[in-house]
Amino acid sequence: MIMAKQYGVTKPLSLAGPMEADIQRTKELEKFLVGAGLYESVEEAAKREEVLCQLKQIVKDWVKDLTRLRGYSDQMVEDANAVILTFGSYRLGVHGPGADIDTLCVGPSYVNREDDFFFVLHNILAEREEVTELQPVPDAHVPVMKFKFDGISIDLLYASISLLVVPDDLDISSESMLCNVDEPTVRSLNGCRVADKIIKHVPNIEFFRTTLRCLKFWAKQRGVYSNVTGFLGGVNWALLVARVCQLYPNAVPSMLVSRFFRVYTQWRWPNPVMLCEIEDKEFGFSVWDPRKNPWDRTHQMPIITPAYPCMNSSYNVSASTLRVMTEQFEFGNNICQEIELNKARWTALFEQYPFFESYKNYLQVDIVAADADDLLVWRGWVESRLRQLTLMIERDTFGKLQCHPYPHEYVDPSKQCAHRAFFMGLQRRPGELVQEGQQFDIRGTVDEFRHQVNMYMYWKPGMEMFVSHVRRKQIPSYVSPDGYKRRLMSGQLAEKPYSERGLKRKKELEGAEEKQQSQDKRPSISPPRDSASPELIVGQKNGMFLQQCSSTVTRGKRKSEEISNSLTNDTTEFAGTSGEPAHELLRLSHDGRPVGSTGCNSLCSSQGDLYRAESKSLLNNVCENGSRFIEDALLELEPKAAHGMLTSLDSIGSESVQKSSIRHVTWFHTCSYILFYISDFFFKGAVFWFLFYGLSCRYSVTSTA
């Protein structure tokens, strides 16, 4: 009996091959992927090859020049060499049009990363006309230099190995490459080593590539493709797909996609996903082992790299992002079951995730910079810290408030400045008991996040960040590709055209909206029943800060008419778009530093509660910019959510709830003032009594004498 070859750490779950229906579904899937534009043209592929050839020549000349400057012999100069290797999606053969190329430059031992790579080579690239958007990131977990070469995006890493001459046929998979190198170098080398191991450990490379290309596109459509924000990146998805290929070695892509969702819907995290056994060599590098390393026990979704030293490639995943991905796996599994029953087509699997219809409350993070170059580095820094905001909110609310960071950035075309916006959905943990008057006060959390962001060592004037709490119907219209507004306007809900699968939900939404409107119109003396739900506090009371900034610096005082007009226009925009009073807008600055030389017109016109830590700077800005104070209502957080999907329209902004909240706040302030005056009266009375008693005693002593 011939034993089937085992791929991975366990035996296959099934050796079954495809049936005729599976082959037909695979053809339909491949046709869909081609129609979706996931394959690059022959011309673009040739251009990529040309760019890589030019880059190889640049790094070779760079190493030869450094060898000559350091006084090596002519023979050494002639033999001096550096090689360019690829990894990631390009190495795996699943890259699409416009995708970047992950590259690794391997150089000799006497060419270092700090000075030679990030300074000398950086200057060489900066002088070339083909190179644009050059962005060095030396302090990253894996130091990288990002740029575009003739329009092709390049991520360039560097590794200095313990060889004086680097051969052109360098075997990167050899473990001798890890001798006498530091950990950043090991992490840089591991990109190529992991890609080679993945290719080696899958049964059918072509089936693997088709399945991976499909699932990467699915992850982007469903908003779960981003390592930096706490979801999964390219290597993570590649490892997950490779493991499914090992479990079903004879399956075709349509079967592998279906089995992928079936496996990971039932996977019991934090059990790790591994392609091979973890080996601990004698090179002294730490490998992933929760038995020895306490930090490894905290990982939510371990996906282990197959090359030594084996690491968890998904350490960024948090409890909230794991919840979101699990929900999306369940969505994919349900759709695939319908496809296998011929009740749905592949297009249903790749429907865009309705993020801005799935939550009632959101955090909006706006960032601005003086120009496009500053925004490029500032955006990268802020985006890399958004994951920390998710972890902080989970920590400070004991996991009761769940976050869904959305890995997409948006630009307001009406702003005349370098600007980006990120959004994060908020909801209560499902099953959490609702207590009357319970609130989530995350002001301190956001303030801590602001301070972390402001520690950016390359900060420049003009780099600013704003955080605001917005409700669903206050989401700005520019988040939609076709520019429509997802908010209540003139008593009607403007919606995007729905597909057949969305018609039923559309009718449910309209019915819920009519019901909600009828409830809001009823006169109410006491708060509605929902007012017992917890509330979200994200900013200090004190009003609204509206700032106008333009592309040039204007000095001196503004005319009162201009300030009045800007305030009136912005306030009207709030009232016209949301139908309710505008909320406070407090500005985040960089440790009290002034705004830079450029900005945007009414950047802070996005609805919500913005923060500012330094109260003195806030008061100064309020006086200088003509801000006015308004009373804001506490916003009620959505009490329940079914798998992160929309179940009912936004009902947190009803007039009765707001009036009740304001009434409670006003009553509290009234009681505080009464107690203050009473205590003040008794305090002054006590002082008067002591003075009177002292004078009496003195008079008595004088009389006796």
Active site residues: 89, 100, 102, 155, 216, 225
* Of residues 212, 272, 216, 219, the one with CA closest to residue 245: 212
**CA 474 vs CA 208, 347, 361, 477, 488: distances in Å:** 43, 30, 10, 9, 8
Residue located via tokens 């003739």:
150
Query: How far apart are alpha carbons 149 and 153 in whole angstroms?
Result: 6
Helices (H), 527-582: 560-578
Instruction: Give me the phi and psi of 405, to 5 degrees please.
Output: -70, 130
CA triple 280-286-292, angle to 5 deg = 85
* Of residues 360, 361, 377, 371, the one with CA closest to residue 459: 377
What torsion do the CA atoms of 561, 563, 565, 569 make, to the nearest 10 degrees? 180
Could you tell me what percentage of the chain is helix, strand and coil, using 3-state DSSP and rounding each to the nearest 5? 45, 15, 40
Structure tokens at 423: 């959004």
Helix (H) or strand (E) holding 448: helix 443-453
* Of residues 347, 349, 343, 319, the one with CA closest to residue 331: 349
Q: Tell me the residue length of the chain.
A: 705
Query: How far apart are alpha carbons 245 and 257 in whole angstroms?
Result: 10
Strand order in the sheet with 439-441: 439-441, 535-537, 635-636
Residue located via tokens 């296959």:
12
Structure tokens at 132: 């644009």
Q: DSSP letters along 581-634, please?
A: PPPPB----STTPPP-S---TTGGGSSS----S-HHHHHHHHHHHT------PP
326 burial type by CB count under 10 A (0-12 exposed, 13-18 middle, 19+ buried) = middle
Q: Which residues contact 53 (CB under 8 A, 6 or more apart)?
A: none
* Of residues 231, 229, 423, the one with CA closest to residue 325: 231
* Of residues 316, 283, 461, the one with CA closest to residue 384: 316
* Of residues 374, 352, 455, 363, the one with CA closest to residue 401: 363
